Structure formats: structure tokens, C-alpha cells
Structure 1
Amino acid sequence: MLALDAAGLELRPWRVHDAAAMVAAGQDPAIRRWNRFVVDSPTEARRRIERMRERWLSEQSALWAIAPTGAGEPVGLIGWSDIDLAEGSAEVLYWILPAGRGRGVAVEATRRLSRWGFDDLGLHRLRLCHSTANEASCRVAAKAGFAVEGTMRSALLHEDGWHDQHLHALVQGDI
């Protein structure tokens, strides 16, 4: 578990009993708009949580629930995908449920996870990508210290079509 400075929250592994939060996220219009994330049932959510464990063990990705310290429903997800331990890089991804929005949770979780990756895992470079139309994610990246490196044209297919994406990065020594 990784404690967050935000009042009473921690990063912890996803648990099977978190399936309801996963389903809620898969149905949330804002999460679906900006993420290729659809979960329609508790069974599908439990399968996804199990795949998270498998991908963690194979060092492909590492995803945490952002949840009240000790117990409680997750208010978000944060983690790394496309992990390359040999090259010291990963991509940061996150989503926040309505109960966690507007409190700086995404920024604090991104900062905490980045510090841990640099200080404890020895990562060198983290990247964060988002649709250029997603102003909230752009603010999260900037507040967490990620510099804008450029725009990737037509880089990700969303429900409403192809989106350009901003590429932000944070490298060892930036924080």
C-alpha cells in the first residue's frame, strides 16, 4: 500500500470485491469518453481484476485502486502500462469516479506513483498521454510535473472517433 497525502486515501491492489466499483467506472460517461474502458458486469470486472494480477506478475502493467485507507470502495484507478523495466520506462494511466473528482486525487496519486517509480524501482522516464480535448487530464499532467513534449496526431480511437493526443513526460530528476 502507498499512502497518499490526500486525506485518508491510499493506493492498493484491486480486490475481487472491488468489482462493483469497476462496473461503475465502466458505465461512467466521463471515464468511457476518455478511456477505452467498458465493463458491463461484475463477472467481467472480476475477470479484469484477475488479468491485472497476471499482467503485474508478467511485468506488463501495474494497476492500483485509489481507495480510502484501510477499507472502502475505490474512487479511482492509477497505474502503469507498457512497462519496460530494462529501459526504465512506463506509461501512466488513470481514471477517477465521480466520488473522487474535484479533490486533486488524480494529481496526488500521479505524483506519489511517479516518486515511487523513480525512487524505489529505478525507472527513468514516465509518459502520460491524453486526448487533446481532455483538458482535465492536461491539468493533472501539468500539476504532477509532466512536461508537454508534443502532439501525436490521430493517435487513439475513442468512442467518437480518432483523437490527437498530448504526450507528456516526467524523467528521473524532474521531481
Structure 2
Amino acid sequence: MTLPTIRAGALSSSAQPSLTSGDGELALRRWDVGDAAVLYTAFQDPVIRHWHARQMSSLEEAREWIEDVNQGWQQERTAQWAVSRTDDGEILGRMALRELNLHEGLADCGYWILPDARGTGVAPRALATMADWALETAGFHRLDLEHSVGNEASCRVAAKAGFTVEGTRRGSALHTDGWHDMHLHARVQGDDCSEQRKHLS
């Protein structure tokens, strides 16, 4: 009885867009099979392994993951970007919109940043770039973002990118060390994030 927020085929009818941060320093682009070594190395990092249940045991698995997420764009179920510097193309991390619900205009956000780029402002700038595109260009109504209550760094990233804390979901995510309570953040189309943008660094 409701009209779709985003019509079916609106995303897949064109190539996944490349995005650039407001300061022009970061690029978000489609993953390429040539990135498999970087992706595999990322999932060997203890911090990424701690906060993400997804593991990656080989280069072949990394290639399969890249092929799957690129098919995910065509199937309108996920959108995943490699985050890199615009000057040298070095991959710094990953941004993702997962569990796309085009009818209601909903998506979940996920991300990780490689060790050398942490604490440099890459994560909040890249997250804000992805969220701006999703809400202002693609037409999503709401973006959810959850992280473990123990992941304070992720909480700061979400806040800087304009995601408001809405509450805590008890025991809602299974990590490698057991069940975690999760902070729920969200951005909704039309939110005024001007104050948070002053702290995008």
C-alpha cells in the first residue's frame, strides 16, 4: 500500500559511483579483484578481527568476496567501497551500505580502516561522504549504524559523521568473544549535520 522510496533498478541501472570527500583528499571507489591482497591483509589485523565476525583465510576468498560485493550492487543488496587517497590511490579502508531495502529506503552502514590510517580523520570523512551520497543523491530515507558499546573509536567516528545515538540494543551482535550490546546510531534524510562537520578530522 506504500510507494517505494527508491524504485527497483534505480541503482543497478548505472555503474556504482565513485565518491570524493568534501576536502578532495579521499576517494571511495568500487573494489577491484586486484585489491585482493590488501583486503586479505586487512582481515589479518587484530583490531579488525576483533570487531568483525567476518574472517578471510586466503587470497582466493578475498577475490570471491570482491566478486560477490560487486554483484551485490547489480542485485541492489549491498554497496561496498574501497577508501583511498586521491593523490596516490593507496587503500586506507572500506565503507559499506548493507542490507539495502529500497522500498523503505533503509540501509545499514559498516566500515573499517587499516592501521596506518587510524586516527587521521579518514573514517569520519569517508563515512560522511558515503552517507551524504546515500541520503542526498541515491534517495535513502534512513541509515542505521551499529557498533559494540566497547568500540569507543567507532562511536566517535559515527558522531563526527552526523549519526545520532538512538539507544543500546542488548546482546544483539555475536562477536568472536561472545555477545555484545550494541550502540545504535542513525542518520535520517534531512538531518542537519552542520555542527558535526566542524569536527571532521
| TM-score, normalising length: structure 1 | 0.95
CA displacement at 1:17 relative to structure 2: 0.8
Q: In the alignment, is residue 108 of structure 1 matched against residue 122 of structure 2? A: no
Which sections of structure 2, spanning at least 5 residues, go unmatched? 1-17, 193-201
The alignment's C-alpha RMSD in Å is 1.3
Distance 1:17 1:116, change over 3 A: same
Which sections of structure 1, spanning at least 5 residues, go unmatched? none
Figure out how many residues of one structure are paired with residues of the other and give that number: 175
Paired with 1:152 and 1:52, the residues of 2 have a C-alpha distance of 27
2:60 aligned to which of 29, 32, 43: 43
1:93 aligned to which of 87, 93, 110: 110
CA displacement at 1:71 relative to structure 2: 5.4
2:174 aligned to which of 157, 160, 165: 157
Contact preservation (8 Å) 2:26, 2:126: no
Paired with 1:68 and 1:143, the residues of 2 have a C-alpha distance of 20
Paired with 1:18 and 1:6, the residues of 2 have a C-alpha distance of 25
What aligned pairs does 1:12-161 form with structure 2 within 5 A after superposition?
12-69=29-86, 72-161=89-178
Distance 1:71 1:51, change over 3 A: farther
| 1:40 aligned partner, one-letter code | S
1:47-67 CA deviation, whole Å, 9 max, x = no partner?
A: 000001111111111000001
Paired with 1:7 and 1:99, the residues of 2 have a C-alpha distance of 20
How many percent identity over aligned positions?
50
SS at match of 1:75: strand
Contact preservation (8 Å) 2:95, 2:112: yes
CA displacement at 1:80 relative to structure 2: 0.3
Q: Which is higher, the Rg of structure 1 or of structure 2?
A: 2
